[in-house]
Amino acid sequence: MAFLEIKNLFVDLKNFKLKNINLKIDKKDYVTIIGPTGSGKSILLETIAGFYKPTKGKILIEQLDISNLPPEKRCISIVYQDFALFPNMNVYENIAYGLKKKEKNSRIIKEEVEKIAEDVGITNLLNRIPNTLSGGEKQRVAIARALVTKPKILLMDEPFSALDVRTKDSLRDLIENIVKKYETTVIHVTHDLDDVFRLANKTIIMKDGEIVQNGYVNEVFSKPLNDFVANFVGANVLKGEIIGKKDGYTLIKIGRFVIRSIDNANVGSKVKVYIRPEEIILSNDLEDSIVCSVEKIKRFNNILWIKLSNDCFTLNAIVTPNITEKRISIGNKIFIKFDPSKVRILEGNGC
Amino acid sequence: MQITFRNFCIFITLLFATIFFGLIISLFIIPSFTAILNSLQAKEMMYSLELSLITSAVSTIAVLTLAIPIGYALSRFSFFGKNFLKSILDLPIAFPELVLGLCLLVFFGQTFVGKVLNVLGIKIVFTKLGIIVAQVFTALPYSTRILCSTFESINPRIELVSRSLGYTEFETFRNITLPIAKEGILATTIISFARCMGAFGAVLVLAGGSYMYTETLPITIYLSLSYGNMDMAITSGIVLVIISFAAIYMFEKVDRGRTWHF
Ligand SMILES: Nc1ncnc2c1ncn2[C@@H]1O[C@H](COP(=O)(O)OP(=O)(O)OP(=O)(O)O)[C@@H](O)[C@H]1O
Ligand SMILES: [Mg+2]
Q: Residue A82 and residue A138: Cα distance in Å, rounded? A: 9
Q: What is the pLDDT of residue A351?
A: 37
CA end-to-end distance (rounded Å), chain B: 36
Residues on chain B touching A61 (C-beta within 8 angstroms): none
Average pLDDT over residues A23-42: 96
Q: Rounded to a whole number, what is the distance in Å from the CA of A144 to chain B's nearest CA?
A: 12
Mapped onto helix, strand or coil, the DSSP state of residue B239 is: helix
Residues on chain B touching A77 (C-beta within 8 angstroms): 164-165
Q: Rounded to a whole number, what is the distance in Å from the CA of B151 to chain A's nearest CA?
A: 14
Q: What is the pLDDT of residue B260?
A: 43
Q: Residue A175 and residue A249: Cα distance in Å, rounded? A: 43
Closest to A24 in 3D by CA, of A210, A149, A176, A204: A204
Q: Hey, whose CA ends up nearest to atom 19 of ligand 1?
A: A38
E strand or H helix at A271:
strand A270-275
Q: What is the pLDDT of residue A324?
A: 53
Sequence-separated (6 or more) residues with CB below 8 Å from residue A166: none
Phi/psi of residue A303, each to 5°?
A: -135, 160
Probe site for chain B from A88, A100, A102, A138 (most B CB atoms < 10 A): A88
* AA letter at A12: D
Q: What is the pLDDT of residue A142?
A: 97
Torsion of CA A260, A264, A267, A268, to 10 degrees: -80
Q: Write the CA distances from A243 to A342, B25, B243, integer angstroms.
A: 19, 98, 92
Sequence-separated (6 or more) residues with CB below 8 Å from residue B32: none
**pLDDT(A322) > 70:** no
**pLDDT(A38) > 70:** yes
The chain-wide mean pLDDT, for chain A, equals 90
Q: Is B78 on the interface with A (CB under 8 A)?
A: no
Q: What is the pLDDT of residue A9?
A: 97
Q: Do B161 and A76 touch (CB under 8 A)?
A: no
Check if A13 has its Cβ closer than 6 Å to any atom of ligand 1.
yes
Sequence-separated (6 or more) residues with CB below 8 Å from residue B22: none
Burial of B229 (0-12, 13-18, 19+ CB in 10 A): middle
Q: What is the pLDDT of residue B158?
A: 97
**pLDDT(A326) > 70:** no
Q: How confident is the model at residue A189 (pLDDT cuts 50, 70, 90)?
A: very high
Residues facing residue A216 across a β-bridge: A202
Check if A38 has its Cβ closer than 6 Å to any atom of ligand 1.
yes
Instruction: Determine how many CB atoms are found less than 10 A away from the CB of residue B179.
Output: 13
Q: Do A97 and B165 touch (CB under 8 A)?
A: yes
**pLDDT(A347) > 70:** no
Q: What is the pLDDT of residue A321?
A: 66
- Rounded to the nearest whole angstrom, what is the distance from the C-alpha of residue B77 to the centroid of ligand 1? 17
Instruction: Give pLDDT tens digits for A130-168.
Output: 999 999 999 999 999 999 999 999 999 999 999 988 899
- Report residue B10 CA to chain centroid gap: 30
Minimum mean pLDDT range among A11-20, A51-60, A257-266, B139-148? A257-266
Which one has a higher pLDDT value, A236 or A54?
A54
Closest to A156 in 3D by CA, of B25, B164, B106, B63: B164
In total, the C-beta contacts within 8 angstroms joining chain A to chain B are 59
Tens-of-pLDDT digits for all 262 residues of chain B? 667 899 999 999 999 999 999 988 888 877 788 888 888 899 999 999 999 999 999 999 999 999 999 999 999 998 888 889 988 888 888 888 999 999 999 999 999 998 999 899 999 999 999 999 999 999 999 999 999 999 999 999 999 999 999 999 999 999 999 999 999 999 999 999 999 999 999 999 999 999 999 999 999 999 999 989 999 999 999 999 998 888 888 888 776 655 443 3
Q: What is the pLDDT of residue B255?
A: 66
Q: Is B257 on the interface with A (CB under 8 A)?
A: no
Q: Is B176 on the interface with A (CB under 8 A)?
A: yes
Instruction: Give pLDDT tens digits for A76-121.
Output: 999 999 999 999 999 999 999 999 998 999 999 999 999 999 999 9
Sequence-separated (6 or more) residues with CB below 8 Å from residue A274: A224, A230, A235, A236, A237, A238, A343, A344, A345, A346
Q: What is the pLDDT of residue B12?
A: 95
Q: Residue B9 and residue A156: Cα distance in Å, rounded? A: 51
Q: What is the pLDDT of residue A298?
A: 84
Which one has a higher pLDDT value, A16 or A194?
A16
Question: For A71, which of B164, B176, B179 is closest by C-beta distance?
Answer: B164
A86 neighbors A93 (Cβ within 8 angstroms):
yes
Instruction: Give pLDDT tens digits for A57-76.
Output: 999 999 999 999 999 999 99
Which one has a higher pLDDT value, B56 or A255?
B56
Q: Rounded to a whole number, what is the distance in Å from the CA of A46 to chain B's nearest CA?
A: 9
Ligand nearest to the CA of A41: 1
Pick the residue from chain B with its C-alpha nearest to A89.
B176
**pLDDT(A350) > 50:** no
